[in-house]
Amino acid sequence: GENVEQHPSTLSVQEGDSAVIKCTYSDSASNYFPWYKQELGKRPQLIIDIRSNVGEKKDQRIAVTLNKTAKHFSLHITETQPEDSAVYFCAAGTHQGGKLIFGQGTELSVKP
Amino acid sequence: DTEVTQTPKHLVMGMTNKKSLKCEQHMGHRAMYWYKQKAKKPPELMFVYSYEKLSINESVPSRFSPECPNSSLLNLHLHALQPEDSALYLCASSRRAETNYGYTFGSGTRLTVV
């Protein structure tokens, strides 16, 4: 069935370092790949997304890359700051009715 | 208005109670969703409404009953819940179910079943 695997489950970096989170999806029909940041007790917030016709997208310190052949997409955060600490979820969606399949999440900790 | 509003923010209910969760958006989105999220886990899809019609039910127990009275409102009626149903219930909306554009989550209702 549909599945999204996300690694690592926890990630600790020093302030100013880069952080990379990787996801792999199983459904070749997936064509939409959002990333959400969820702080404790709050809603998942969309931070960046990419569609299957694009290989890379960047927004200030955040970038996402997509390799359709390998069914693999990654989130890159540069110059990390303590306020980047949160749980990050990747997800994959298709034209099949708006359903998003989420990865298991990565708990990112940025140490000052 | 670019928000999805959920009420109440917190709800404690007994196993014999009947309660409802409410979700509202005024972005003109025609797809609305209910997700359930347990602590430190990803959101899990429960229901999808597309143009006010139920299009996906992810085999959710009948003690959860969704309703979409109009294109801006989505309700989740709760009856005879179990303690394991305690979770954060998230509503989301997007422009259309087919495109995922503008997929936005509400702040959620934290439900505790006692």
Other C-beta atoms closer than 10 Å to the C-beta of B100 total 24
Strand-strand pairing, B10-13 and B109-113: parallel
Measured at the alpha carbon of residue B99, what is the angle toward residues B96 and B104, in degrees to the nearest 5?
65
Contact A58, A8 (CB under 8 A): no
**Which pLDDT belongs to residue A104?**
97
Mean pLDDT over the full length of chain B? 93
Q: Provide, rounded to the nearest whole percent, the portion of chain B with pLDDT above 70.
A: 98
Burial class (CB in 10 A: 0-12, 13-18, 19+), A32: buried
Phi, psi of A3 (to 5 degrees): -155, 145
Q: For B42, which of A42, A98, A104 is closest by C-beta distance? A: A104
Dihedral class, residue B3 (left if φ above 0, else alpha if ψ from -120 to 50, else beta): beta
Is the Cβ of B53 closer than 8 Å to some Cβ of chain A?
no
Contact A76, A18 (CB under 8 A): yes
For residue A95, is pLDDT > 70? no
- Closest-CA residue in chain A for B46? A99
Q: For B55, which of A93, A95, A97 is closest by C-beta distance? A: A97
pLDDT in tens, B60-91: 999 999 999 999 999 999 999 999 999 999 99
The answer to whether the Cβ–Cβ distance between B103 and A34 falls below 8 Å is yes
pLDDT band of A26, cuts 50, 70, 90: very high
HSE on the CB side for A38, CA within 13 Å? 31
For residue A44, is pLDDT > 80? yes
Q: Look at residue B85 and give its three-state secondary structure.
A: helix
> How far is C-alpha A11 from the chain's CA centre?
13
**Which pLDDT belongs to residue B99?**
75
Is the Cβ of B87 closer than 8 Å to some Cβ of chain A?
no
Q: Look at residue A11 and give its three-state secondary structure.
A: strand
Dihedral class, residue A2 (left if φ above 0, else alpha if ψ from -120 to 50, else beta): beta
> How far is C-alpha A93 from the chain's CA centre?
13
Q: Which two tokens stand for residue A106?
A: 């990565």
Q: For B106, which of A34, A43, A87 is closest by C-beta distance? A: A43
> In angstroms, what separates the C-alpha of B63 from chain A's closest C-alpha?
22
Q: For tokens 């597309």, what's the residue? A: B50
Dihedral class, residue A60 (left if φ above 0, else alpha if ψ from -120 to 50, else beta): left
Span A9-24, mean pLDDT? 98
Three-class DSSP labels, A36-101: EEECCCCCCEEEEEEECCCCEEEECCEEEEEECCCCEEEEEECCCCHHHCEEEEEEEECCCCCCEE
Chunk chain B into consecutive blocks of 10 residues (it has 114) and report each block's average pLDDT, rounded to whole numbers.
90 94 95 94 94 94 97 96 97 86 90 96
**Which pLDDT belongs to residue A1?**
66
